[in-house]
Amino acid sequence: MQRLRYYLRIYFLIETQYIKSKMQYRDDFIISGIGMVFSSLTTIAVFWVLLASIPDLAGWNFDQLVFIYAFYMLAISPFQILFDHFWQLRFHVIEGTFIKYYFRPLNMMFYYVSEMFDIKGVVQFVLGIAMFIYASIRLGVVWNLPQVLLLLVTMISAALVTISIMVIAACTSFWIYNSYPVLDLARRLREFSPYPMTIFDGFFKLMFTYIIPIGFVAFYPAQIFLNTGSNSTAVYLSPLIGAATFALAYWVWMKGVNGYTGTGS
């Protein structure tokens, strides 16, 4: 517990200074926040157009899709806010600046992620909450204490899945000179997360469930609260998948940092 308090204090001090520096560029925060709002509204518009053209989209209606998308936004927000620095990992590795993370008596992943806090991600999180409340009211979802606790567990699990996928993709920079295509592919695949897995054919449904588990970012855990009558075992595997994927991501990270030798210059 004392060590946890120690890390929390350090994290708070680092992020306080980082936020102060970023708030010197408030226009960037405002413009980026507006961009996130319009991006989210564009996705909702796509759902509306799809259902206007295909009234029965594998049995899913508009409000259910909004609920899943809101779940997705909340699930990816922790990566956006806390782990966004992984987008820069390839530059640190190539330029040799990653070597500095070996010289502090701190957990290396903690030290690395603590250097960046994406304030714009907070806008995404707030928007996700607003959409989640809207969809819950429209669908008549009842939130009692057990439901809220279950939501927290599934939300944490979903966040771990999206964090893990992006971390693994970013860590390929330890072995691949230009890892951006891998990272970008992971981001593009993640964007399939808010869509019902039932609209994909057998191969893609299998891949998005058990190989690249983006179905556990939003679709499968959201079904627990939608009462769709699904008997799929995958619906209840979210906590296990979240823990397993993060353990894998941390293992890949450690393999990378243990094998990194700098630029040699």
Owner of token pair 């998308």:
69
Residue of higher predicted confidence among 217 and 235: 217
Mean pLDDT of the chain: 83
pLDDT band at 62 (very low <50, low <70, confident <90, very high): confident
DSSP state letter for 265 = -
pLDDT at 123: 83
Owner of token pair 């409000």:
63
CB-side neighbour CA atoms (13 Å) of 240: 8
pLDDT at 121: 80
Cα separation, 14 vs 8, in Å, equals 10
Cβ contacts of 247-252, under 8 Å, gap ≥ 24: 248/164, 248/168, 249/163, 249/164, 249/165, 249/167, 249/168, 249/171, 250/109, 250/167, 252/167, 252/168, 252/171
Q: What is the pLDDT of residues 229-241, one digit of tens each?
A: 555 677 778 889 9
Give the bridge partners for 57, in sequence order: 60
pLDDT at 23: 62
Least confident of 72-86, 131-145, 190-204, 211-225: 190-204
Q: What is the pLDDT of residues 115-173, one digit of tens each?
A: 888 877 888 888 889 989 999 999 999 899 999 999 999 999 999 999 999 999 999 99
List the helix and strand counts (H, then E) for the chain.
Answer: 11, 0
CA distances from 192 to 114, 196, 227 (A): 28, 9, 22
Sort residue 167 into left (φ over 0), alpha (ψ -120 to 50) or beta. Answer: alpha
Report the percentage of the chain scoring pLDDT > 90: 36
